[in-house]
Chain A
Amino acid sequence: MTTDAGSESDVQKTEAQPSPPQHFPASGHGSPDTRHQYCTEGQSEGSSSELQQQHEDHYISQKSLSSRVSWSALGRSHRLKVMECKVTLLDGTDYTCTVEKRAKGQALFEKVCDHLNLLEKDYFGITYRDAEGQKNWLDSSKEIKKQISTGPCNFAFSVKFYPPDPAQLSEDITRYYLCLQLRDDVLSGRLPCSFATQAVLGSYTLQSELGDSDADTQGYISDVRLAPNQTKELEEKVLELHRSYKGMTPAEADMLFLENAKKLSMYGVDLHRAKDSEGVEIMLGVCSSGLLVYRDKLRINRFAWPKILKISYKRNNFYIKVRPGELEQFESTIGFKLPNHKAAKRLWKVCVEHHTFFRLVSPEAPPKRFLSLGSKFRYSGRTQAQTRRASAQIARAAPQFQRTASRRHTVTASMDSTPASVNHDDDVKNSKPAVATDDLIDTATPEKKAEEMNSVEEENKTNSDESEQAPPTSVTKYSFIKRIKGENVFVKHSNLMLEETDTPTELMQHQLNVSELKRSFLEMRCEASGVNEWDRRLSSSPRLCPRLDELSSVKPLVWSQEMSEEDKAEPEDVAVKPDHGVEQSEEPVKDVPVVQTETKTITYESSEVDANGDSDPGVLMSAQTITSESNSTTTTTHITKTVKDGISETHIEKMIVITGDTDIDHDQALAQAIKEAKEQHPDMSVTKVVVHKESEISPAEGDA
């Protein structure tokens, strides 16, 4: 999540250190000076004068904890301002370091990861508490100071993305930190589990931290916190199990811990309190597979990431737009009410980040056919692509580290344990008095010019946009539909599960033409894509066919995928614009009950495309076309150089045709194509991608 050019360059950076990583406890022990010396030697940040500066900073800041330090006394040459940050680590200890006053979240994050000797950083993040006491993720691309505002610099290092398959992590130390986080999750109640599971997890914890069971273990166990309510019975069970693990290494114990923990239903689920459109209290859970909806601990709905087309928020409300189901024609938008605006934004951010991070994990199973026996599901085995690629490049020997008795998890240091669970916002009462259900669902989410808070629509924008659209038609016949606007049918969340799935024909016809489809390059995480880019790109809602100038200024977060049911000749439908790579793929056989051709066109556009429109094409200097072929791929590259306003621009247009059978994973192919394009032209950024998929039912090969 946090790392961009990030993961790869970080690996290199660490490996290029003049001194090899020293052996030191994973937890933050050691005198400040020792630590500081390590930092000084190990990192190549800044000039030597800066380092000296920091040394002095550190000394002075030990005397006074004020974060504002002025250096007029030292002379005008060094006016660098720094601040001290305290980060609570996963084992409960605190790590204090200094960063520049205007440093971005990334800087702090890097320091902590270096301190922890952690290379697989993508799964982790830093949280801070806001004025309301709520935990927020520190945005790595924004200044720290701006995020924490006037609060103290108190942070916590936590797992942000729980890997669905921890066995695939490259390093044991990563698994160790994940275990620490999960132990805390069990203790705090964030991860409910049965007595039997608590016993099993506890036994692996003992094995990992203490090694083989011996006479002392019995006395030790009461000091270790293994469960929210730790009974004698539990301790006995833990000891019994522990005895059977003789010879198990700590790494093995951690692995088994994770194998058990990952199966728990609340593993990696980030809960947010909310209300559905009827005011019923629910919990929204964000996890690797999608968005879950709970009512009283019962799962009442689930939206897998691939099914979600758009995620947006407005004021206190959070919306998701989902693809129509098998028997539905319309996309639907579901709204939830959060306690306050901040909570809505927080939820939105978390969803977007999870969606991005895990979207490349595994493709959703093909539409489940309930009449067939014989699974078509194939887990591709790929995971968070870039992270894993970076992880695979980790070439160092497994770092030695000590699993110290975790302070957080011992009874004596119980002060450190983090309070339970969910973002509990007490602001529910303060939020606006009952917004009428109609208003809640109907709020239009219009396009907006790129702005930092792009995702929050102003009131006036709403009004002006509403007037542009067709007046809403209220349908009285079917009570579960409140309004129809444009292409969307807004449905009451609670009725979703029980509604009639055959939508009546009187409803406005869904526009099946390809509407503007934009998507930030999720694969392009290496392009400094922090969340702020999403802020700018997010727009809710392109309903109508876009005009090009709007296209360039508004960048929605998630794409809309629509299926058109007519046959379309492929090449004509591909939008040909400068700065894009075009990929087409084909699946010759697709098993669907109705014989038809399905065409999908998706357009992705990055934020780099500014309103360049087609205003001044410039002077064409040169043009070149190259064709290359491989087994299943044909690539046609068209390069044009133009001079515009004295600046030479090179446009590269690549048309990649991939033919093959259903085994091709298109997301992967797309990611691969983009990656290759970038590798070939590192100075350039891919600004637009149009994916055109045509799947034919008949075995006859269509045209590429």
Chain B
Amino acid sequence: MANIYPYGCFTHAVVRCIPESFGKLAEGGDGFQTDLAKAQRQMGVLTGALRQKVGLQLIEIPADSELPESWRIEDIAVIQGDTVLITRPFKQQRRLEAEAVRRVLNELNLTVVEMGDEEGGSGGATLEGSDVLFTGKEFFVGISKHTNHRGAEVLANTFKDFAVSTVPVCGGSRLKSICSMGGPNTIIISSSDGAKKTLRVMEQLTDHHYEILSVPEEVAANCIYIRGPAKVDYLLHPTAEECPNSIPAFQRLTDYTLLPTACSEASKLGGALSSYCLLINKKSNY
């Protein structure tokens, strides 16, 4: 089918700057004091890595303090090839975040598909990008508090070429909290019991075989993998300070350029590295 590249081929990244209201509406629970300046610094490191080290085109959407969670741009859209599905997050307030994102993606000439609102016929479907794992060959949608079966259905209808499988999210609040792609054929997954359960389901449902990289610390399960222009494998992963025991696992990946990137403040709010960005492949395909 068209537009099928091995996972990791990206040309652009879209991020949204951290708003002043960062951390004010703590999702992860109370008592999590977040440091705004630190969060902004960490984001800066991430965007710097994407732009300078990996070589992606970076698009930054200005912050909006009315939308404290707008930095978690991953939730707002699911992108594959030329097609974007604008999602419908669980929280009502978050749905306003889509506006700016939509504009940017339209400018990039992508085909934007709207999930729509209640009246628009989505019928109570909710979907957040951080519950979606695209492996390059298929989609896994984690059914969680934020994403329901109907939301997964909308995704399946949007990306017709691919198998879309639903999996339970165990041992984390979102699918991407417990797993992410670590290579064209590699899934990084937390070694917690819950994550193992989710993995078992994934393995049962798939027709493909993936390498599994298991990491002891949950935060390490979320990384960003990109195959750079010169066919170099880049992996952005949490720092040694955040996940000391997982670093050896990353080092097992042969010939990878490892880019430790802190995400402590995001983690406090239930986010992760991948929450920060939307990755797009704008190569002229076919």
Contact = CB atoms under 8 A, between A and B. Distances in A.
Interface of A: 192-197, 199-200, 241, 244, 260-261, 263-265, 289, 295-302, 325-326, 365, 368-375, 377, 497-498, 501
A197 B1 contact: yes
10 contacts: A196-B83, A197-B1, A263-B4, A296-B150, A297-B153, A298-B149, A301-B204, A373-B213, A373-B252, A497-B201
A265 B163 contact: yes
A240 to B, nearest CB: 9
B161 A265 contact: yes
B191 interface: yes
B205 A301 contact: yes
A372 B81 CA distance: 31
Given A196-B2, A241-B286, A260-B1, A298 B214 contact: no
A297 B157 CA distance: 8
A192 B152 contact: no
A296 B153 contact: yes
A298 B164 contact: yes
Nearest to B187: A370
Given A193-B161, A265-B164, A298-B141, 13 more contacts: A194-B1, A200-B1, A260-B2, A263-B1, A263-B4, A265-B138, A296-B150, A298-B153, A298-B156, A299-B166, A301-B204, A301-B205, A375-B211
Interface stretch (B42-50, B192-200, B257-265): B192-200
A392 to B, nearest CB: 27
A325 B200 CA distance: 10
Contacts of A301: 204-205
A368 B203 contact: yes
A48 to B, nearest CB: 53
B166 A300 contact: yes
B186 to A, nearest CB: 8
A501 B197 contact: yes
Contact of B212 (A200, A260, A302, A370): A370
Contact of B199 (A197, A298, A370): A370
8 A-B pairs closest in CB distance: A265-B163, A196-B2, A299-B165, A192-B160, A297-B156, A197-B1, A200-B2, A296-B153
A498 B143 CA distance: 11
Nearest to B141: A298
B109 interface: no
A571 to B, nearest CB: 37
B1 A497 contact: no
Contacts of A298: 141, 149, 152-153, 156, 164-166
Contacts of B167: 497
Given A196-B3, A196-B285, A497-B168, A296 B149 contact: yes
A298 to B, nearest CB: 5
A447 to B, nearest CB: 30
Given A298-B164, A300-B166, A373 B2 contact: no
Contact of A289 (B191, B203, B207): B207
A183 B157 CA distance: 20
User: Among the interface residues A241, A261, A299, A370, which one has the most CB atoms of the partner chain B within 10 A?
Assistant: A299
A289 B189 CA distance: 25
Interface in B71-121: 81-83, 111
Contacts of B83: 194, 196
Contacts of A200: 1-2, 286
B244 to A, nearest CB: 19
Nearest to A500: B197
A62 B211 CA distance: 63
User: Among the interface residues A261, A264, A368, which one has the most CB atoms of the partner chain B within 10 A?
Assistant: A368
B134 interface: no
Nearest to B253: A373
B209 interface: yes
Interface string B13-48: 000000000000000000000000000000000000
Contacts of A199: 2
Main secondary structure of the interface of A (DSSP, over half): loop
User: Among the interface residues B2, B141, B150, which one has the most CB atoms of the partner chain A within 10 A?
Assistant: B2
A603 B92 CA distance: 60
A374 B253 CA distance: 10
B159 interface: yes
Contact of A377 (B165, B207, B209): B209
A501 B2 contact: no
Nearest to B111: A195
A197 B2 contact: yes
Contacts of A368: 203, 209, 212
Contacts of B205: 299-302
Contacts of B199: 370
User: Among the interface residues A195, A373, A377, which one has the most CB atoms of the partner chain B within 10 A?
Assistant: A373
A596 B160 CA distance: 45
B162 A265 contact: yes
A264 B214 contact: no
A360 to B, nearest CB: 18
Given A193-B160, A299-B165, A325-B200, A375 B209 contact: yes
B169 to A, nearest CB: 11
A258 to B, nearest CB: 11
Contacts of B211: 373-375
A260 B285 CA distance: 13
A649 B137 CA distance: 56
Contacts of A371: 191, 212, 214
A373 B161 contact: no
Nearest to B191: A371
User: Among the interface residues A196, A298, A370, which one has the most CB atoms of the partner chain B within 10 A?
Assistant: A298
Contacts of B204: 301-302, 325, 497
B9 to A, nearest CB: 15
A195 B82 CA distance: 10
Nearest to B167: A497
B82 A370 contact: no
Contacts of A501: 197, 200
Nearest to A288: B207
Contacts of B203: 368, 370
Nearest to A191: B160
Contacts of A260: 1-2
A290 to B, nearest CB: 9
B75 to A, nearest CB: 20
A296 B196 CA distance: 26
A593 B156 CA distance: 37
Contacts of A194: 1-3, 81, 83, 159-161
Contacts of A365: 209
A297 B212 contact: no
Contacts of B189: 370
Given A368-B212, A372-B212, A375-B209, A196 B165 contact: no
Contact of B196 (A193, A300, A370): A370
Contacts of A195: 111
A432 B54 CA distance: 62
A470 B197 CA distance: 34
B212 A264 contact: no
A125 to B, nearest CB: 24
A264 B153 contact: no
Interface in B205-240: 205-207, 209, 211-214
User: Among the interface residues A200, A297, A325, which one has the most CB atoms of the partner chain B within 10 A?
Assistant: A297
Nearest to A325: B200
A354 B159 CA distance: 27
A520 to B, nearest CB: 26
A325 B161 CA distance: 29
Contacts of A295: 149
Contacts of B209: 365, 368, 375, 377
A296 B156 CA distance: 9
Nearest to B156: A297
Nearest to B195: A370
B258 to A, nearest CB: 15
Contacts of B141: 298
A300 B153 CA distance: 11
Contacts of B212: 368-373
User: Among the interface residues B138, B168, B207, which one has the most CB atoms of the partner chain A within 10 A?
Assistant: B207
